[in-house]
Amino acid sequence: MHKTRKSILASLLVAVAVSLGYLLTGVPNIELMTITIFISGFLLGPGYGAVVGAVAALIYSLFNPFGAAMPPLLAAQVIGFAVIGICGGIMGPAVARMNRGVINVAAAGLLGFFLTLFYDLLTNIGAFFVMTGTKELSGLVKFVAAGIMFMGLHLIWNTGLFAVILKPMLNVLSRHRRELSSE
């Protein structure tokens, strides 16, 4: 029953992440998938978090209304969200245990910032290979620098989102996490 329950919940969380991705797909760099996948890792553990992140990225990217992602970008998205799911399983419990108001907000915000920075750098590298068609890294720094303002919006959004809602969400879901880990 334990694996079945976790697998069903993981499937539902993939559906939620993909649905939230499509909900805001027309608004550049404003998204709810990152925090959803992080929370999935918190609830289900790093292994299932990685699976939720990878599968959600795969479905969202292959069936994106703007067109499917090319293989280098798709791989970067899948790896990036898998790592975010793993981080939710590893770092989420520490954030949930924090008991200091301002420190909670700052820690959650910094976590959102660095996870988003990692994801954006990874996907920018994937996009570089798609756009340039080359395997040479000579123009990579210029490519990433050209999109820094666009990436900045994503960083600000996810930093604020993590700072404001991560700790309250983890508090609400902590009981369910304990139930899932004790089965």
| Residue 157: closest CA among 35, 20, 40, 43 | 35
Per-residue pLDDT for the chain (183 aa), expressed as one digit of tens each? 478 889 999 999 999 999 999 999 989 899 999 999 999 999 999 999 999 999 999 999 999 988 999 999 999 999 999 999 999 999 999 999 988 788 889 999 999 999 999 999 999 999 998 888 776 777 888 888 888 888 999 999 999 999 999 999 999 998 888 787 765
- Domains for the chain: give ranges and CATH numbers: 2-182 (1.10.1760.20)
Angle formed by the axes of helices 46-62 and 71-97, nearest 10°: 140
The pTM for the full model equals 0.93
In terms of Cβ atoms closer than 10 Å to its own Cβ (0-12, 13-18, 19+), residue 123 is: buried
Q: How far, in Å, CA of 173 to CA of 2, rounded?
A: 18
- Residue 145, token pair as written in the block: 């620098």
Q: How far, in Å, CA of 145 to CA of 134, rounded?
A: 18
Q: How far is CA 78 from the centre of its chain?
A: 10
Q: How far, in Å, CA of 80 to CA of 60, rounded?
A: 13
